[in-house]
Amino acid sequence: MDRFAELKAFCLVASNGGFSAAARQLGVATSSVTRLVDALEQRLDTPLLNRSTRSITLTDSGRNYFDHATHILAALDEADDAAAGRDAEPAGTLRIAAPVTLAIRYIAPLLPELRRLYPRLELDLRLSDAMSNMVDEAIDVAIRIGNPEQQPNLIARKLAGHRRHIVASPAYLAEHGAPPAPDALSQHNCLLFAYGGNRATWRLRNADLATEVDVSGSLQVNNSEMLRQAALGGLGLALLPGWLVQADLDAGRLVAVLGEYQANPGEMDVGIYAVYPANRRGASKIRVFTDLLAESLSNAPAHAGVHAEHGFPRAPE
DSSP per-residue letters across 205-273? E-SS-EEEEE---S-EES-HHHHHHHHHTTS-EEEEEHHHHHHHHHHTSSEEESTTSEEESS-SS-EEE
CB 103 within 8 A of CB 110: no
Q: Using pLDDT thresholds of 50, 70 and 90, give the confidence band for residue 248.
A: very high
pLDDT given at position 227: 96
pLDDT given at position 103: 94
Domain boundaries, the chain: 3-71, 93-162+270-303, 164-264
- Asked if 3-71 and 93-162+270-303 have one fold, the answer is no
pLDDT at 73 over 70: yes
CA 128, distance to chain mean position in Å, is 8
How far apart CA 169 and CA 229 sit, in angstroms, is 10
Mean pLDDT of 219-236: 95
What dihedral angle (degrees, nearest 10) is formed by the CA atoms of 204, 205, 209, 211? Answer: 30
Burial of 284 (0-12, 13-18, 19+ CB in 10 A): middle
- Name the strand (E) or helix (H) holding 96: strand 92-98
Mean pLDDT of 98-107: 92
Contacts for 127 with CB less than 8 Å, ≥ 6 apart: 97, 98, 99, 100, 103, 104
How far apart CA 20 and CA 66 sit, in angstroms, is 19
How far apart CA 263 and CA 273 sit, in angstroms, is 19
pLDDT tens by residue, 30-42: 999 999 999 999 9
CB 166 within 8 A of CB 89: no
Q: Using pLDDT thresholds of 50, 70 and 90, give the confidence band for residue 216.
A: very high
- Name the strand (E) or helix (H) holding 33: helix 30-44
Rounded to the nearest integer, the mean pLDDT of the chain is: 83
Q: Using pLDDT thresholds of 50, 70 and 90, give the confidence band for residue 1.
A: low
* Three-state SS annotation for 144-196: EEECCCCCCCEEEEEEEECCEEEEECHHHHHHHCCCCCHHHHHHCCEEEECCC
Q: Using pLDDT thresholds of 50, 70 and 90, give the confidence band for residue 180.
A: very high
Mean pLDDT of 2-15: 85
Q: How far from each other are the two terminal CA atoms of the chain, in whole angstroms? A: 51
CATH topology of domain 93-162+270-303: D-Maltodextrin-Binding Protein; domain 2 (3.40.190)
Between 306 and 13, the more confident residue is: 13
pLDDT given at position 281: 65
Burial string for 200-226 (b: 16+ CB within 10 Å, else e) reads bebbbeeeeeeeebebebebeeeebbb
Question: Which listed CATH number (1.10.10.10, 3.40.50.150, 2.40.70.10, 2.70.210.12) goes with 3-71?
Answer: 1.10.10.10
pLDDT given at position 45: 92
Mean pLDDT of 296-308: 58
* CATH entry 3.40.190.290 includes domain 164-264: yes
pLDDT at 74 over 80: no
Mean pLDDT of 148-176: 86
Mean pLDDT of 168-180: 96
Lowest mean pLDDT among 106-110, 166-170, 217-221, 270-274: 270-274
Mean pLDDT of 124-136: 80
